[in-house]
Amino acid sequence: MAQQRRVQLSTQRPTSTVCVLGTELSLDLCGSAPKDAVAFHVQGTPGVKLYVVHETQSIKLPSSVGRWPLAAGTEVLLAMDALSKDVGDEKVRISYFGEAGGVPVGRAMLYLTCVEVSLDADISRSGAVSRTLLDKTTWTWGPEGHGAILLVNCDRDDPEAEMPDNRDAAICSYADLKDMSQMVLRTRGPRTIFTGHRLVLHVDFGDADKVGVFYGGSSTTLEEYKHVLGGSKLAYALKPSRHQEESIFYVEGLAFPDVGFSGLVAFHVTLLESPEKGSLETPIFTDTVVFRVAPWIMTPNTLAPLEVFVCSVDDNEDFVTAVGALAEKAKCPLTVCPPPQNRQDRWIQDEVEFGYVQAPHKTFPVVFDSPRDRGLKDFPVRSILGPDFGYVARQAAEAASNLDSFGNLEVSPPVTVQGKEFPLGRILIGSSFPRFGGRRMAKAVKDFLVAQQVQAPVELFSDWLHVGHVDEFLSFVPAPDRKGFRLLLASPSACYQLLKEKQEEGFGEAAMFQGLEGVPKPTIMEILANEELRKFNYYAQSCISWNRDILKRTLGLAEPDIIDIPQLFRGDATTGAEAFFPDMVNMLVLGKHLGIPKPFGPQVGGRCCLEERVRELLEPLGLTCTFIDDYFSYHLLSGEVHCGTNVRRKPFAFKWWHMVP
Amino acid sequence: MAQQRRVQLSTQRPTSTVCVLGTELSLDLCGSAPKDAVAFHVQGTPGVKLYVVHETQSIKLPSSVGRWPLAAGTEVLLAMDALSKDVGDEKVRISYFGEAGGVPVGRAMLYLTCVEVSLDADISRSGAVSRTLLDKTTWTWGPEGHGAILLVNCDRDDPEAEMPDNRDAAICSYADLKDMSQMVLRTRGPRTIFTGHRLVLHVDFGDADKVGVFYGGSSTTLEEYKHVLGGSKLAYALKPSRHQEESIFYVEGLAFPDVGFSGLVAFHVTLLESPEKGSLETPIFTDTVVFRVAPWIMTPNTLAPLEVFVCSVDDNEDFVTAVGALAEKAKCPLTVCPPPQNRQDRWIQDEVEFGYVQAPHKTFPVVFDSPRDRGLKDFPVRSILGPDFGYVARQAAEAASNLDSFGNLEVSPPVTVQGKEFPLGRILIGSSFPRFGGRRMAKAVKDFLVAQQVQAPVELFSDWLHVGHVDEFLSFVPAPDRKGFRLLLASPSACYQLLKEKQEEGFGEAAMFQGLEGVPKPTIMEILANEELRKFNYYAQSCISWNRDILKRTLGLAEPDIIDIPQLFRGDATTGAEAFFPDMVNMLVLGKHLGIPKPFGPQVGGRCCLEERVRELLEPLGLTCTFIDDYFSYHLLSGEVHCGTNVRRKPFAFKWWHMVP
C-alpha cells in the first residue's frame, strides 16, 4: 500500500505541494468546498493520475462521469509517474458546483512538483545497493527473504589503534569503510524544490547506540568523512546539492544482537515542507530502511580448518611440535602463541571461540573472548584482533565459573530435527541442568548466544565433570555418508567391554601407561576388579547417556550417527569426574586428520588396544588418527589436545540469512 | 516423540531401573554383549512392550524372528503401559548367542518398575489442571493454541499490607492463593520405589526471579504454605508421601513481560536414581511445563465503563458534578479522588492507565502508574491497589517528559489491517517522530508496552503540541455500523469551513466565549481575518493529517471511518500548539454517552454552532452529547474533560491467548 498524504486545498488561493514518486496524495475535498457545493469536477494535467473513490469503488479519471457528489466518503487520490522538470509543472483543478449546477461556485487549484526521495540499501542482498520494489521497512528470513545487513565493525583496521573500529567515531582507512554497509539517499527532481524543503536523516532513539553512520559528502578523501548519526546524534539535516542526486552514507554496527536488541535498526529520511518562508515546517514524507546486524556464527569441526592455534609454555615443546606436524598434514598454518603472550596459560580452547560475521558485501572472522580471564586474557585483543579480524566479549556478572570456558561451547554440524532445519548447526553448551544449583555458564554469554538466533543453543549436562566442559565427553568428526558427520561420545561402557574382551583373550596382565615415568601401571585385570572405579563409571555412563538422549532429540540423530569411544573416568561425588586416561574424544579435528590424546592403553600384541579400537571405529570413515602424547603436559593438568588447541575455520557456504530461525 | 533413556545392562548381575509412563527405554545391547556374541534374543513379561529397531525398521515383539544380529545399528526399545504394583514386577531378558548358536553365551536381566511422574498445569486453558496429550514444553498462541498461563500477582489481598502480593514470599489469604495458577505433580506407582529415588522440582536460573511457588504439602491451612521456589530458591526436593499421589503447587508471576523477558517460564521435575545406596545419583527423567505470564491489556473507549474517576480540587466543584451526572446517565459508579489524595493535581488521565490481566481461572484489573509523578503520585498505590486490583509501574531513566503522561497512551478498538487481526486493538502513543530530538515517551514505558505483544503499539506524532498528548487530537467513539467505531480527529480545516459557512450565512458578527468572564470574545469575522491564526492552523492541520495517514495505514481505516471534529489551535514554533477553544475530541466516552468539553463557540440562532455541528456528526451514530464546561477549571490549565477523568472498563470478551501476535 503506497504511502498516502492528505493535502488541504483552498478556493481562495492556489496550493503548491510536492508529490513524492511512489506515493499518493489524498485531496481534502470537503475541507475546501464552498458552503453550497454539492458536487465537484476534477481534472489534471497529463502527468497526474487521478482517481475518484466513490462508494468504495476507485475510478480512474478521466471517466464518463463528469461530476461527482460531494459525499463524506468521496475521496480524490492522485499519483505521479514522472519527475517534474520544473517546480509546479503539473496541476489539478477542482471545480465545485451547487444544486443549480451550471457555473462552478468555487475552484481550488493545486500545483504539483514530483520529486524522488528514496533511502536505499542492499535490500536484495546482492552485495550492492540497488533500487527495489521490496518492502524496505521489513526484514525477512529465508531464501526468498529481503532486508539489508550490517556488520558489527569489530575489527581493527588501524594497527596503531588500541580498540576495535566500532569504539570510535572516525574512519581510519578505506578498509574501515569497506566493513560498513552503504545506504544511499536519492533525491531527484527540480533542484530548486529542495531549497524550500528540508531533508533529514534520522535514527530512532532506541537504536542510536547500536549504529554509527558516516558521510563524506561529494568528497572521496577520508578526512572529509564525518560521523553524522549514532550515539547522541539522532538526526542529520542535509541540503541536496545542485549537482548530486545520490548521497552515500556508510553504516557500521556497534553491537551484536543481545537481550533487548533484536538486531534490527531502522533509518529514516524525512522531507519537511514549510508552505511559506518562515512558517512552521511539517513532515510530508518519510522513507524508512531497516537493517539487521549480522549474528556471530560458530564453525563446527566439519568445516575446513584455516589456522590452528597452540600455546608454547615451559614444558610442552613436544606437544607443540606434534600439533604442528598434524597441521602440516592438514595443510593448515599453525600459529603459536608465545610465552610472553600466554603467561603459561596453555588452555587456548577455553579462552576464545573463533567464529565469523557475514554480510553480502563482506565476511570476516570474529573471535569471541570468554569471561574466563587467566594468563591468555590479553591475547585476543593484542594478537588476534586486527584488520578484518573482529573481536567480541561478554563479561560474567558474578565471578566466572569453569563452565564459562569455551571448551564448554561447541557447535554441531548442520542438522535437521523433525523437519526443522538448522543449516548452521546448533550450539552446545554444558550446564548443571537437570541438577540444580551447581555451576552454569554466565547468563550474559548464554543470552548472547541465544540472541544470535541462527544456531539455537542446546543445554547439555556437564556439571558432573570436575572441569565441566562438553568437550570432555563429545566431539564431531566428518563422515562421507549419512548426515556428513558422526557424533563421538566418551563411553565407559564401551571401554569396559573392550577390556573384558581383552581379558577373555588372555591379556589380563597387560598394563596401562607403559613408558610413563612415575605413573602407576594398572593391568586390565586390576581395572576390571576395581569395584569403586566400576561404580563411578556406571555413574559417568549414566550422565553421558542422559546427554546422548538429549543430543539424539535436539540434533535429530539416530544410533548409527553416534560412535562410542572407549573411555574411563575417575573421581567422586565431591570432585566430579576426570578422565582416567587421556580423554580421546577431546581431539583436534583438522579435516580428515584427527589429533587424538594418546591413551596409553594396555599393550596387546605390541599395540595399544585403545588406539586400535579407535582406529577400527574411525578409519572406515576415511579419517586418519594421530595419537598425540599430552600426558604430562595437559592430561595431568585436567585437559587434553582439544583444550590446548583452537582452530579458525572456513565460514559456511550457506548464507545465514537464507535460514529461518 | 517420547522421551527416551539409554539403560546399561550387564551379564554379570541383574539391573533394576524405573520406566516412567509415557517414556521409552533404549537398551545398551552392545555394551553388555559378551565378546563372542553375534546375535541376541529378547523377551519380556506381558507388561513390557518391546521393539527391535533393525535396519531402520521398528519391529514389535514377539515376532517370527527369534534371533537378531548384534549389529551396531540394532536397538531394543521398550515402553510400559501400566503402573507397577510392586517394585521390579516386570522384566526383560536378553540372551546372547555366539557364531555356533545353540546355548546362550551370556544373559542380561532387567527388572522394571513402571511409575508415573508428571508435572501438570492448565495446559488446555480450561480453568483447571488436567492431564493432557498436548506438548507441555511449548506454548502456542491462537484459538487452537495450548500452554498454561500465570498472572502477575500484583494486587494486594491483605488490606494491611503496604505492597502488592508479589513483593513478598508469603501467602496472606485464600484470596491470594486464588490469584495463583495451580501446578500439580503426580507420582503414582509402588510407593517404596520413591524412597530410593529423589524427586526435585526446579526452575531455570534465568526465570527464577520472575516467579514464586508455594506448597502446603497435604495441609490446607494457610500457615503450612511455604515459599519453595523462586528468587534464590532454584530447586525443591520432595518425598512423595505414602498416601498422596498429587502434590499441588501454587505459582505466581512476579514480573510482566518486558525487555529481556518473553513472559515464558519453565518448571521442571526431575527424577534422580542412585543404583545403590550411597552411590551417586543420576537424572533419569525430567518433565517440563511452560507457563506464559499474562500481559497487561488496555481497554478502548468502545468497552463498557465500570468506574469513572475524577479529582476534586479547589475550583472544580461544578465539573465534578457534571461528570457525576454523566456517569449516572451511563449507570456507571463515580469515584472522586479527594484533595488529600490528589494534592491539587487534577490530571488523573495522565497519572494512570487502567487495564487488566487475565488467565483462564482469574481476571482482575491492573492500574499502570505512569512515570509522571505529581500530586497524584501516591494515589494509585494508596487507593487503587487492593484486593483483586493490581498495580504496575515503570520509571523513566531520565526525567519524565510530558509525553510520559498517559493522556499520551491510548488504545484503538479491535481492527484488522490488511488481513492481520488485532482483536484487542492497537496501542497509540505520541512521540516526536518524524521530528528528531524533541520529547519522547520513556524507553522503559515503550518497551513495556511492546513486550506485552497483544496490542502492538503505533507511534504517532504528538510533539507538535504544547502538552504533547495523542488525546489532544484523537478519540474513538462506538458506532453501530462499519467497524463498530469511529475515529474522531480534531480538524482546523473543518472548523474554518464551518466558520466560513456561518459567515456566508450572515453570522460573521457572532462571537465566541459568550458568558465567560474576562475572556476576549472574537467574532467569526475576526477569527477568519486572523492570518497568523490561519497559518498556524494550516500547520496544525498538516500535523494531524500526517497522523491521519499513519492511523489509516496502521489501523486499516478508510475515510468513512473518520470523523473530523471542528477545532482550532493556537501557538507558535517555540511553545507548540494548544487548543484555541476547549478541545472537543478530548472527551469522556461512557458507552453512548459522551462528555465533551463545551467549546463556547459562536452563537448562531441562540445556539453554539460548534456544538450543533458536533451533534450533527455524532448523534446519527446513536450517541448523546453532553457539553461540559471545563473552561476555567481545565481548559485554561492546558487540559480538558478527558485529561481530567479516567475510566476503568470491562475487559474484552475476547481472550488474549486466542490471538496470534
Q: Are the C-beta atoms of residues B118 and B86 closer than 8 Å to each other?
A: no
Number of Cβ atoms within 10 Å of the Cβ of A219: 10
Counting residues of chain B whose pLDDT is more than 90, the rounded percentage is 77
For A225-286, what is the HEC assignment? CEEEEECCECEEEECCCCCCCEEEEEEEECCCCECCECCEEEEEEEEEECCCCCCCCEEEEE
Rounded Cα distance, B57 and A47, in Å: 71
Contact across the interface for B494 and A53, Cβ inside 8 Å = no
Contact across the interface for A437 and B53, Cβ inside 8 Å = no
Q: Tell the CATH topology of A4-116.
A: Immunoglobulin-like (2.60.40)
Number of Cβ atoms within 10 Å of the Cβ of B85: 12
Which residues in B lie closer than 8 A to residue A30 (C-beta atoms)? 494, 497
Per-residue pLDDT at A278: 64
Going by pLDDT thresholds of 50, 70 and 90, the confidence category of residue A222 is confident
Rounded Cα distance, A622 and B431, in Å: 63
Q: Are the C-beta atoms of residues B448 and B454 closer than 8 Å to each other?
A: no
Specify which residues A111 forms β-bridges with: A16, A91
Q: Picking from A186-190, B53-57, B618-622, which range would have the lowest pLDDT averaged per residue?
A: B53-57
Flag whether pLDDT at A612 surpasses 80. Answer: yes
Query: What are the backbone dihedrals phi and psi of residue A624, each rounded to the nearest 5 degrees, phi first?
Result: -110, 135
Q: Picking from A198-212, A304-318, B554-568, which range would have the lowest pLDDT averaged per residue?
A: A198-212
Per-residue pLDDT at A436: 64
- DSSP classification of residue B230: B
H-helix segments, A364-503:
379, 443-451, 492-502
For residue A31, the distance in angstroms to the closest alpha carbon of chain B comes to: 6
Which residues in A lie closer than 8 A to residue B283 (C-beta atoms)? 434-435, 461, 546
Contact across the interface for A4 and B552, Cβ inside 8 Å = yes
Residues carrying CATH 2.60.40.1860, chain A = 4-116
Mean pLDDT confidence for B251-278: 90
> Looking at the domain that runs over A297-655, which CATH code has it been given?
3.75.10.10
Counting residues of chain B whose pLDDT is more than 70, the rounded percentage is 98
Going by pLDDT thresholds of 50, 70 and 90, the confidence category of residue B361 is very high
Going by pLDDT thresholds of 50, 70 and 90, the confidence category of residue A448 is very high
Per-residue pLDDT at A373: 86
Rounded Cα distance, A53 and A60, in Å: 9
Residue of B nearest to A11 (CA): B497
Contact across the interface for B276 and A234, Cβ inside 8 Å = no
Q: Are the C-beta atoms of residues A567 and A585 closer than 8 Å to each other?
A: yes
Summarize pLDDT for A339-390 with one digit per residue, the tens: 999 999 999 999 999 999 999 999 999 999 999 989 999 999 999 999 999 9
Flag whether pLDDT at B238 surpasses 90. Answer: no
* Cβ partners under 8 Å of residue B233, min gap 6: B208, B227
Mean pLDDT confidence for B23-28: 93
Query: What are the backbone dihedrals phi and psi of residue A207, each rounded to the nearest 5 degrees, phi first?
Result: -100, -15
Q: Which of A315, A337, A336 is nearest to A327 (CA)?
A: A336
**Which parts of B165-245 are beta strand (E)?**
181-188, 197-203, 211-215, 226-229, 235-238
Contact across the interface for A559 and B31, Cβ inside 8 Å = no
Rounded Cα distance, B568 and B580, in Å: 5
Flag whether pLDDT at B3 surpasses 90. Answer: no
Going by pLDDT thresholds of 50, 70 and 90, the confidence category of residue B434 is low
Going by pLDDT thresholds of 50, 70 and 90, the confidence category of residue B279 is low
Q: Which of A185, A120, A175, A119 is nearest to A151 (CA)?
A: A175
Query: What are the backbone dihedrals phi and psi of residue A116, each rounded to the nearest 5 degrees, phi first?
Result: -110, 130
Mean pLDDT confidence for B612-620: 97
B440 vs A5, A205, A552: nearest CB: A205
* Cβ partners under 8 Å of residue B257, min gap 6: B263, B293, B295, B451, B452, B453
Q: Which of A239, A248, A105, A118 is nearest to A181 (CA)?
A: A248
CATH class of B122-293: mainly beta
Question: What are the CA-CA distances from residue B559 to residues A56, B301, B305, B487 (Å)?
Answer: 10, 20, 28, 10
**Which parts of B98-177 are beta strand (E)?**
106-120, 148-150
Summarize pLDDT for A538-551 with one digit per residue, the tens: 999 999 999 999 99
Flag whether pLDDT at B1 surpasses 70. Answer: no
Per-residue pLDDT at B65: 79
When the pLDDT of each residue in chain A is averaged and rounded to a whole number, the result is: 93
Rounded Cα distance, A368 and A353, in Å: 5
Peptide bond connecting A434 to the previous residue in cis, omega within 30 degrees of 0: yes
Residue-wise DSSP of A314-344: TT-HHHHHHHHHHHHHTT--EEEE-HHHHTT
Summarize pLDDT for B315-342 with one digit per residue, the tens: 999 999 999 999 999 999 999 999 999 9
Q: Which of B542, B548, B565 would you mutate first to test chain A, the one with the most A CBs within 10 A?
A: B542
Q: Which of A550, A392, A568, A582 is nearest to A496 (CA)?
A: A568
Per-residue pLDDT at A627: 98
Residues carrying CATH 3.75.10.10, chain A = 297-655
Contact across the interface for A546 and B31, Cβ inside 8 Å = no
Q: Are the C-beta atoms of residues B275 and B289 closer than 8 Å to each other?
A: no
Angle between helices A492-502 and A609-618 (to 10 degrees): 120
Rounded Cα distance, A636 and A634, in Å: 6
Among A471, A564, A583, A629, the active-site one is A471
Summarize pLDDT for A161-216 with one digit per residue, the tens: 888 888 878 888 889 999 999 999 999 999 888 888 889 999 988 899 999 999 99
Return the active site residues of B. Answer: 350, 469, 471, 643
- Please confirm, yes or no, whether A471 is among the known catalytic residues: yes
Residues carrying CATH 2.60.40.1700, chain B = 122-293
ipTM score assigned to the predicted complex: 0.84
For residue B337, the distance in angstroms to the closest alpha carbon of chain A comes to: 36
A539 vs B206, B280, B564: nearest CB: B280
For residue A584, the distance in angstroms to the closest alpha carbon of chain B comes to: 18
Mean pLDDT confidence for B636-650: 98
Flag whether pLDDT at A8 surpasses 70. Answer: yes
Going by pLDDT thresholds of 50, 70 and 90, the confidence category of residue B435 is low
Which residues in B lie closer than 8 A to residue A538 (C-beta atoms)? 8, 275, 279
pTM (two decimals): 0.90
Which residues in B lie closer than 8 A to residue A404 (C-beta atoms)? none
Q: Picking from A7-11, B70-74, B196-200, which range would have the lowest pLDDT averaged per residue?
A: B70-74
Q: Are the C-beta atoms of residues A291 and A481 closer than 8 Å to each other?
A: no
Residue of A nearest to B418 (CA): A1
CA atoms within 13 A on the CB side of A515: 10
Flag whether pLDDT at A247 surpasses 80. Answer: yes
Rounded Cα distance, B555 and A73, in Å: 17
Which position has the grid cell 603436559?
A: A633
Amino acid at position B314, single letter: D
Q: Picking from A585-599, A623-637, B299-313, B437-451, which range would have the lowest pLDDT averaged per residue?
A: B437-451
Flag whether pLDDT at B399 surpasses 90. Answer: no
Task: Pick the more confident residue, A266 or B71.
Answer: A266
Cell numbers for B47: 507388561
Contact across the interface for B283 and A434, Cβ inside 8 Å = yes
Which residues in A lie closer than 8 A to residue B545 (C-beta atoms)? 5-8, 28
Flag whether pLDDT at B222 surpasses 80. Answer: yes
Across the A:B interface, residue pairs with CB atoms under 8 Å apart total: 178
Q: Count Cβ atoms within 10 A of the Cβ of residue A544 and give its class: 0-12 exposed, 13-18 middle, 19 or more buried.
A: buried
